[in-house]
Amino acid sequence: MKIVKGRTDIVRDPKTGAIINVDTEAHRAAVNSSRARQQAKLQIERNSSDINNIKEELSEIKTMMRQLLGSMSNDGR
């Protein structure tokens, strides 16, 4: 491998001419960052699902309350 002038994080493959990143710390940080973003995305999806479930349950409760109050007012007539 040939060292790229002025860089310590990359080298050039002499056979293919490809530039290869040899900075393992940067790679590890990128992988960890990607995992953290994925976990945050999953948490947001779970939170959204929970919120939607709560909305549905609240709507059901409101409907039952209206029915209960409606039947109470009809019984009082």
Tell me, what's the pLDDT at 55?
Answer: 98
Enumerate the domain spans of the chain. Answer: 2-75
What is the Cα gyration radius of the chain? 30
pLDDT at residue 76 in the model: 62
Q: How far apart are CA 46 and CA 30, in angstroms?
A: 24
Phi-psi category of residue 6: left, alpha or beta, with phi > 0 → left and psi -120 to 50 → alpha: left
Residue 29 CA to residue 23 CA, distance in Å, equals 10
Alpha-carbon torsion, ordered 50, 51, 53, 56, to 10 deg = 180
Select the more confidently predicted residue: 75 or 33.
33
pTM beyond 0.85, yes or no: no
Q: How many residues belong to the chain? A: 77
Tens-digit pLDDT profile for residues 40-76: 999 999 999 999 999 999 999 999 999 999 988 877 6
Q: pLDDT (tens digit, 9 = 90+) per residue, 14-30?
A: 999 999 999 999 999 99
